[in-house]
Amino acid sequence: MIVAMMKGLRDRCWNEGGFVKKAQEQTLWNDVFLTATELEVFDPRLSGLEEQLKVLAVASEMPSSLTSWINHAKPCLMCDTVIMLALKLNEIAGVYFSRGELRKAKSVCECTLALYSEALGVDHADTMVIAANLQRLQESLSKYKAKPIDKRSHKRQ
């Protein structure tokens, strides 16, 4: 009886923790969308940014349309607001990573790296940190894919 109560408490706390992280993720995405809207108003050449980021929010891989958009908007991406946007995206990648959603973390990290590379340059220290984070994510994904799953360890007791 006590064991069952402890398992119920553990499961409820885990679910509540997951809910908090989901709320944090939604708040971060809302900040990203708001920043994108402000950028579009500030510079019409950045039109379509919010739409592209909304696609990224639900994708498990970085959409090719976003890559094309970044390439098209290169001359407009060297401003502090774009860097702040990339910083928020990096936070979202961290949330995904902490929840074990490595593919989503990777796609958001790829977008962050593309924005940092254009806004700051590939040799900037912040860009290199994001590149290193992306490398770690790719390594984690390859380790995860290579690990055999032991079905016995996943049975509920």
Residue ranges per structural domain of the chain: 2-145
Measured CA to CA in angstroms, residue 116 lies from 1, 58, 95, 142 at distances of 54, 21, 19, 25
Alpha helices in 43-100 (DSSP H): 49-58, 64-72, 80-98
Q: How confident is the model at residue 13 (pLDDT cuts 50, 70, 90)?
A: very low
**Tokens coding 131:** 């590149």
The answer on pLDDT for 19 being more than 60 is no
pLDDT 10s digits, 51-70: 988 988 888 788 888 888 88
Q: Is the model's pTM score more than 0.85?
A: no
Phi, psi of 3 (to 5 degrees): -60, -45
C-beta separation of 35 from 85 below 8 A: yes
Tell me the residue length of the chain.
157
Give ∠ CA 52-91-107 in degrees, rounded to 5. Answer: 45
